[in-house]
Amino acid sequence: MNARRISTLVLMAASLFSEYSCAVPAVAQTPKVSPVAPRREQVEAVVKEAYEKFRNDTNGKNADYIPYLAKVDSKLFGIAIVTTDNQVLTMGDVKYAFSIQSISKVYSLALAMEELGPDKVFEKIGSEPTGRPFNSPVAVVDMPTHSGNPFVNAGAIATVSLISGSTADEKWNKILNFYSKAAGEKLVLIDEVYKSEAATNTGNKALSYLLAKYDRIYADPFESVDVYTKQCSVGVNATQLARMGATLANNGVNPATGERVIKAEDIPHILSTMMVAGLYDGSGTWAWNVGLPAKSGVGGGIVAIAPGKGAIAVFAPPLDEAGNSVKAQEVIRYVAERLNYNIFSPTSVGFK
Is 209 annotated for ligand binding?
A: no
Is 204 annotated for ligand binding?
A: yes
Is 341 annotated for ligand binding?
A: no
Q: Is residue 293 a contact partner of residue 283, using CB atoms and an 8 Å limit?
A: no
Is 228 annotated for ligand binding?
A: yes
How many Å apart are CA 57 and CA 327, to the nearest integer? 7
Is 280 annotated for ligand binding?
A: yes
> In whole angstroms, what separates CA 105 from the centre of its chain?
8
Is 197 annotated for ligand binding?
A: yes
Residue ranges of the annotated binding site for substrate are 102, 153, 197, 204, 228, 280, 298
Residue ranges of the annotated binding site are 102, 153, 197, 204, 228, 280, 298
